Amino acid sequence: MTRAKLPDFPWDSLAEHAATARAHPDGLVDLSVGTPVDEVPDGIRAALASVSEIPGYPATHGTPALREAAVAALRRRHGVDGVEPDAVLPTIGSKELVAWLPTLLGAGPGDTVVIPELAYPTYEVGGLLAGATVLRADATTAVGPGRPALLWLNSPSNPTGRVLGVEHLRKVVDWARERGTVVVSDECYLALGWETEPLSILHPDVHGGSLDGLLAVHSLSKSANLAGYRAGFVTGDPALVRDLLAVRKHAGMIVPRPVQEAMTAALADDDALTTQRGRYAARRAALRPALENAGFRIDHSEAGLYLWATRGESAEATVARLAERGILVAPGTFYGPRGGEHVRVALTATDERIDAAVRRLTP
């Protein structure tokens, strides 16, 4: 069996810059990755432990309580109606689903997977693992006359924080349905709108009353600090979810039972979500003006967990410049050729480290 060669893991290339930043007298401020640093809420931890004595295999489909909690949270937090609990499928975080979804849906050689021009690297990896052709395009007019097997959306975007409006989302859905293309929306940052309110592709204003051909991917890594738990889910078109469930049963892709219980608690805890949003909002409010005062322009970044920043120089030069100040960021080139003059600055550092970054950025 052959497949396209996978790219090198991007963050491995930051080792030299990380060493430079780590040598700063006041230590490293790592803003290069979106890894949560805040505590897991007590109620979620208690839920995790509450079923630790259960010896049997968990259900691939998840507990009924988990699926019902996901549906209720989507309705309550994001105005999503019409999703049935049976159309919710827990996943081992969201990254494994992103990487394997084209394969799980049957894409392969001869098929095309469309990803955003600036995109989370695993979208490309997923297409390559399936043996498909990967096309970067932000507009459906750039896709050409063919019929892609799958098209990824990401709003709010990683890395840019861009939010797609309802008209854009509707246009993509209509275009895809005319061609029988599955649309998958990565909505891991949906709860982190700052300057505008992001909209799910499963919102009735977008899909027009039908979930056919639509999937939404959700993660609890950012909203509930569960990156270490590997907690996510996919939902949308019931037929597509049934197909995914059938394959995942065979493949043993099962979320552990204690994690399912923790997810159920997290999806019901709006207060914890509000608290975490407040932490990220405060860090953003401190870091954004500090970057701007240091000569950066912030593009997009109206939502999500990152600031998309540029000084009008190469991304590599900016990474090196900030590393000298003990601040590590990700070059925009990790996300596609159009990121050549930007860096992605994460809000995922402790308040103390954010304050340190602000001091180092102050002219």
CA dist., res. 156 & res. 361, Å (int): 26
pLDDT of 122 higher than 60: yes
Tokens at residue 68, please? 């019902």
Provide, rounded to the nearest whole percent, the portion of the chain with pLDDT above 90: 93
CA dist., res. 218 & res. 178, Å (int): 26
How many CB atoms are located within 10 Å of the residue 173 CB? Answer: 23
Model pLDDT for residues 12-40, shown as the tens digit of each residue: 889 999 999 999 999 999 999 989 999 99
Model pLDDT for residues 204-246, shown as the tens digit of each residue: 999 999 999 999 999 999 999 999 999 999 999 999 999 999 9
Task: Enumerate domains of the chain plus CATH numbers.
Answer: 10-39+271-361 (3.90.1150.10), 53-269 (3.40.640.10)
The crossing angle, in degrees rounded to 10, of helices 238-251 and 95-104 is 100
What predicted TM-score, i.e. pTM, was given to this entire model?
0.94
Q: For residue 58, say if its preceding peptide bond is cis, omega within 30 degrees of 0.
A: no
Model pLDDT for residues 287-338, shown as the tens digit of each residue: 999 999 999 999 999 999 999 999 999 999 999 999 999 999 999 999 999 9
Q: Which residues contact 233 (CB under 8 A, 6 or more apart)?
A: 62, 70, 88, 89, 90, 91, 217, 218, 263
Specify the amino acid at residue 179.
R
